[in-house]
Amino acid sequence: MTTAWGQILPEDETTAGRDIGFYVFAVGLGMVAGWVDIKVGDLLFTALLVLAPCMVLGLMRPSRPWRWVLVVGAMVPLAELLAYLVLSQKPSRAQVYESFLAFLPGIAGAYGGALLHYAIRNITGEK
């Protein structure tokens, strides 16, 4: 099927309505990464907790990997905001700004997972 923006991949047609579980998975693990960022305060560990789910989601649903970066990565700054508004533990200004850096490993993970998916399909000969 072709649209004004180009060719639609086969995953887009058959799995468009079945992605809700993957979005719930992404939000859940993004919230875990945000909670760890607040409690532990280690940006590298938070980056690992964003990288891994983005890579798995990019591997499983490779058609638009940027959506996994947005969903998982956005939970870290959102957790910082909720911690500031609700908890007695107030994150510093530097913690709030560095929480936006969680998008960078998410980009690498999601696009790396999508690339791995297409490489596996190419090696196995699937269409």
Residue 64 counted as domain residue: yes
Residue 66 counted as domain residue: yes
Helix spans in the chain (H) = 10-14, 20-39, 43-60, 66-86, 93-99, 103-124
Write phi, then psi, for 91 (nearest 5 degrees).
Answer: -70, 150
Residue 2 counted as domain residue: no
Residue 8 counted as domain residue: no
- Domain holding 78, by residue range, is 17-122
Residue 94 counted as domain residue: yes
More confident residue, 14 or 89: 89
Flag whether pLDDT at 33 surpasses 90: yes
- How does pLDDT run across 1-11, given as a tens digit for each residue? 444 444 445 55
Residue 83 counted as domain residue: yes
Q: What is the count of structural domains for the chain?
A: 1
Residue 49 counted as domain residue: yes
Residue 67 counted as domain residue: yes
- How does pLDDT run across 41-93, given as a tens digit for each residue? 888 999 999 999 999 999 999 999 999 999 999 999 999 888 888 887 777 88
